[in-house]
Structure 1
Amino acid sequence: MMTVSPSVKVIIALCMRARFYLALVCLTATPALADGRWALILGVGEYESRAIPSLSNAVNDSRAIAASLNDMGFEVYYLENATKAKIEETVDQIGREHQGAELGLFYFAGHGLQVGGKNYALPSDLVPTGADFLQRNAISVNDLIKTLNDFDTQSLVVILDACRDSPFPNEEAIGVGLALFDAPDNTIVAYSTAPGAVAFDGAYGNSPYTAALVTALKSAETEFRDVLRLVRARVRLATGGAQTPWYVDNSKEAITLRPRFAEDAEALAQLVSDRDITLSTTAWLTVVDSADPRDFEQFASLFPEDTLAEVAQRQLTLVSAEGTPSFPLLDLRVRDADEDVPGGLLVQITACDILATGIGDPLALVEPVPHDLVNTRAAMRACVEAVRDDATNARLLGLLARVLNLDERFEESLHYYELAAARGNPTAYTGIATAYRLGMGVEPDNEKAFESVQEAALLGSAPARLLLGVYYREGWGRQQSFPEARRWMRLSLDAGYAPAYVAYGGTYRKGLGVPKSDETALEFYRTAATLGSSDAMNLIGRAYMAGKGVQRDTRTGIRWLARASEEGNPFAALELGKAFQKGNGVEKDLEKALSYFRLSAQRNFVGAHNYIGSILRTGTRNRQPNLPEAYANYIIARDGALLRDTRDSIKQLNDAEVRIASIIGEMSSQQIESGEQMAADWIEQYGLLDFNLVSE
């Protein structure tokens, strides 16, 4: 909760008492710019040399970070597609203007790579000629950090979203990704992915890392290490464990961030506290803590008849006193080499579509963005503008609702979901269902959730029809009925929806209202596998391993499991771990089993920690038993299962509790305390996200 000084509380009270006109006088607070905070933002997406491929999102990434840090009170030095000379000139300028600053931050998005354990950022004018072209023409990140530290900055943060594929694949001396090096004193070095690994550039808008970082920075007050931990958890989840952000912390100081105009934001938000939810109130609450005058200029332009437009003009003057931002707004055009057709698809696509489209949305016009990788700061602004221009568009209303939901503005989100649903958006109905089932902005109500899913299913949405089948299968909001569950699942699979084939096959594998038949289940799994479902591939592999529905053939089973695991399936990695643990179809190897169990956990299957714990408890040929670490893994599995309420999660929870009860009897009080601390540290570092919220 944001702390408000007594003087600001008096201002708010006066403003609310006299309402709008007195508000124009009241909102004249002095800008709360944090003393001595600077940020050097460098984004390089275009290179002069044709040998270096361009990066589609590096510049947008740097613009997004610049906007967020500007809001957070940093003096931003922004460089876009800069030459080495310009970068060095700006570093010298910071040294002259910010000796002894409280906090400095360097962010780089672009091509970054390592040679001999030393990291380099590639400026736009780098020419890859000669044996030592990187040493001569690139920016040494190691040397730059030393230079920035020489400015006597109290705390320094370095963020490198620069681990894309090397643009010089034939250079054997160039390593993959960036090299890990120990951060100097008072410094945090954050990497977008693990050392030596490659990060993704992203499809639209921003890279996965930067999108998650910008959203995590949207907070009334936060400690920067908490931001980095949240970003790590979200990127791991959204990429299925393929990308794990990393950071090295050698700073002893707390690094607390809060918006530059935090106290103004509290007062400005109060001006709409007694209003009904409208697009103008949503827009207002989106920009109240902004330090970018363009936000208030846009509000006044979009809502000139609203009484808040005059307040926006006054806030525009106040914020402008800090200076016009040096960074441009995001460039969110869809680029296509083919000629556009007047009134065609490209004309229909908005910035809101690009930033906010969800997975499985039947109204989608562009490639979707996973829920944890939405840049909510930019998406909120884009969707408000899009809805202002097309107020009855069901697709855009649904996208605005989605972003509000991701920003945890649940009451507003439900309002726009209801507007979108009334205009026939099936995804909006499932959004309403999630709100009522989980109590997001409303009291939990499974019956209302069921009714909303049913409406979406009747509109023909294949995902909603499958979801309705799940509601009947689990007994959420209606009496449990396996026959009715199968009816709706059948409609979904008739539309060619691969997950429906998997779910329908599961009813035969488990005998839910039908005679148990592994053979019938396998038929549905094979169809789903042809449609690309890695879950189906995993289940086929399991069937061959156990000889269920087919003659037992462990070699074929291992091939199916390996194929599913290569697709990133967490459960296939778990099954491979079990195979190596028992010597089923492969030579018994507990070290390999442990590696596969950890891969499954890395891909966000929290239940894999039960299996990790089982091996740590007994040890391996090369590893002594470790009861505290085993216990910690059981706790992680238990706490992850508590966040869900499906049949499988209940089994996972029971399994973890049995293991915990069993191992505690073998441990001393000191070992128990150590294990509990390990679990707490892991959860703080990586996070246990609520998988109930993953409705996509």
Structure 2
Amino acid sequence: MALRLASACLCWRAMSGLGKSLSYRTCCAALAAALVAWPAAAAERVALLIGNSDYALDDLDLPNPVNDALALGAALGGLGFRVIEATDQDLAGMRDALARFEVAASGAEVALFFYAGHGVQYAGDNLLIGTGFGALDTAGMVRASLPMREVRTVLERARPGAGLILLDACRDSPFGTGENAAKGLVRTGGGAGLLIAYATDPGNVAFDGTGRNSVFTKALLNNIATPGLDVRLMLGRVRQDVVVETFGQQVPWVEEALIGEHVLADVKGDEIPTDADAAELALWAVAEGGDARALRDYVNQYPAGTFAETAQARLADLDGAGSVPASLPDAFRAEPRARLEAALAALGLPGGVEAAAARYAAQQDAKAELRPAALYQDATRASMALAATTAQRLRTDLVALRGIDRLARLSENALTEIREIATRDPDAAAPVLAQAERDFEDIRRSRQRVLVRLDQSREYYNRILTRAALFVPDGATEDLLAAGTEAGVDGKLRADAALFLKHVRQSADPSRKGTYSWLTDFLAQG
């Protein structure tokens, strides 16, 4: 089948996937070469960065992949990674680099694989296209491409503490909709200890960017060296940055099964700014689990806090229920356990499913029939209230972040000009330069405080959403938010409750798992 490569589609930039393992002879030769090139002891952190820009077919050339690989290599080198860089490589060159990476990654604390360049889904697999791709046909592409299965196999054999695969690629297939091609990506849920991050969600295009780096890599560079951030939270910021910059046209996608926390940049001094709002939400995220001591801690520290009324009501319910037998009520025995567990957790009822269900039953009117439908409605109502409150915080801080970013760009440009003047007339410029540097630092720290707040709000909203997707009844509406209350519901809360239900319905689409596509709605209204 001939490949049709329209100019509008020339930004395919890499997939994950399944492919055939290297032959025994190829493996032995590559590993022998690698053992000569590298010391026997594995590095604690190792990275392989592949950037393919210069293809045999001139029409496929890309401006940024090599820049992306080199810039990320410099950043990772500064974080103590042993970096293997492989730019403008054909299939043989990519496999050679991968073999060296396997040796270095064996038993490492973190092993990171990054690819920028053309990539495509083909025949149920995802292929990274080498620069030797010079024949406009399917067979030529397959012969020139590295299957992502080989990358995953290498990480599985190396068994690092955390295996990270970062793919800066768009997802459109050049093969149209034929038998061997499909729009989007093959889902590749990682095994334990593996995280895979894609530049965009299935079926969408990753932008190459107007500067020296793609939008996704630029976001990586802006966040990867942030002190003290677990890699999941760091990639949460990356996704957020890309969504904000592209106004939701590109939404990175992450699948992970990491074990424990993995921080790429250590904390030094007071590099992590504190924020009162973020601290409150962090404490509430713990307290909402229903532990009485944590709820009292929250109420004592934040008596007028955002969630104080909910915390006090939950404490009253816990105290009123007293001690109850931890047995699952008969009415709930036929219900899916995961659905029950999620609904009970949304209501802040502690303990396992049996104990939490027994507490819920004890709180109900003795004359009323205990029904699973009532539980799911109660859990939906509680989730809508929490999500709507969190949504308002998200919207406010996303607007603030965009404003601070605009101010930071202006301040940085001014600072650059003042520094240039200072090289010519240091005495005259010194006072102004000192003040400009202080102002820029204040802006930077303000941005960090907003990011800390967004970290808490974004992850908490996603947690509520993921949990609610398991139990929200079909046909639920925002009217449920006011059910059983005498006072009316604020119009903004009601609108955000409706938005939350929309996000719950969207989350039923498997292709949205691991994305923050819902963030776009807060941008549009911000």
What TM-score comes out, normalization by structure 1 length?
0.38
The structure whose RCO (Cα within 8 Å, separation 6+) is larger is 2
What TM-score comes out, normalization by structure 2 length?
0.48
